Every structure is written in C-alpha cells, then in structure tokens.
Structure 1
Amino acid sequence: MSKIKNEKALLKKAMQIGEAYAVKSGYHAFKATDSADDKMEAIYRLLCHHQLLTPLPEDQENRLNMKHRLVKWIMGKLPADHPLLQ
C-alpha cells in the first residue's frame, strides 16, 4: 500500500462527508465519546452496505486498510482541482 499525499487531510474530509451522509441516511449522529476508529469503521461499513464503496476482502479487513479505502473513495469524489489532490 503506497503512501498518499495529504492522507490525513483526505481521511478527515472523508469522515466529514461520510458522517453527513450517515445522518442523512437516518443514522443517529455520533457521540462525543465514540472513538475516531469506531466512527471510521461505522462509516466504512455504511458506505459498503449502501454500495458506495467496494468492500475489502474479509481477510484484509482491518482499520488501516479501511482508512486507505476511505481515502481512495474521497479522492474519486473530489473535483480534480481540489487543493487536497494537488
């Protein structure tokens, strides 16, 4: 797995958009006590369930790969001239 430029910022953007999508889909907002990893996993699973994201094979399903998959997903959704993709 290669390192992606601006990966942290892209993950943050993916989390923001994913959380907004989750709330619009009827999911109750996350609590302040929920860990970032739990939020990330919930967003990943929701996007996979709604077929917006291709799920990882079961043997590769770990939080590092989920984060990478979310970053790749948001990279495909942002316009080509977005500052995070530069």
Structure 2
Amino acid sequence: MKMKPKQEAQLVKEALRVGEVYMKNRGFDGFKPTDSSGLKISNLYQLLAVDKLITPLAKDQEDEPHMKHKLALWIAKQLPDNHPLKNS
C-alpha cells in the first residue's frame, strides 16, 4: 500500500487512538499526557509486535519513521473499505 505523507500521518494518529484502546483492553495503562509521540509510537509498535499483530521490523530498521509506517499499514488493514482514511 503506497501512502502519501499526509495520509500516513493521519493513519498513525488513528493507530495511536485505536492502539491505546487495545493497550487498555490488554491491561496496560493508556498513554500519559506527558508521553512524547515517539514514546507512544514505540510502545504501541512493540506491543503489536509481541502480540504478533504486526511483523517486527529488522533490528536496524527499528526507528520512528519505520515504526510509524508499520502502524499506518496496521490500522489501514483494520479500517472498513469505506473509511475516509482508506480512500484519501
């Protein structure tokens, strides 16, 4: 799936929103208001990788841009076909 940068940013934002609900359902605390976006991205990526909901990145690619892309791909697959973020 090829994404435009703006679309990827919106998908990452949605992934963090949905991912926080997933984290809470798994028994973890949600994100704190003081958590940086990088920390949120890293924590969610790691949880999804451990739970085998996404394929882990190679160790040399575990950086914020690659994790964001993985989260965007993950949430895009979760969205219904008629969702505005899927068709933008």
Residue in 1 that maps onto 2:72: 71
Structure 2: unaligned runs, 5 residues or longer:
none
Separation in structure 2 between the aligned mates of residue 34 and residue 11 of structure 1, nearest angstrom: 16
TM-score, normalization: structure 2?
Answer: 0.89
Structure 1: unaligned runs, 5 residues or longer:
none
For 1:50-65, what aligned pairs fall within 5 Å after superposition?
50-65=51-66
Say what the alpha-carbon RMSD is for the aligned residues.
Answer: 1.1
TM-score, normalization: structure 1?
Answer: 0.91
Deviation at 1:27, TM superposition (A): 0.6
Residue in 1 that maps onto 2:49: 48
Separation in structure 1 between the aligned mates of residue 34 and residue 84 of structure 2, nearest angstrom: 31
Deviation at 1:73, TM superposition (A): 0.7
Q: Deviations over 1:19-54 (max 9, x none)?
A: 110011011122111111101110000010111111
Residue in 2 that maps onto 1:34: 35
Does 1:12 pair with 2:13? yes
Q: Which runs of 4+ in 1 moved over 4 A?
A: none
Separation in structure 1 between the aligned mates of residue 32 and residue 76 of structure 2, nearest angstrom: 27
Q: Deviations over 1:51-72 (max 9, x none)?
A: 1111001111111000000001
The percentage of aligned residue pairs carrying the same residue is 43
Aligned residues: 84
Residue in 1 that maps onto 2:24: 23
* DSSP-derived class of the 2:34 partner: coil
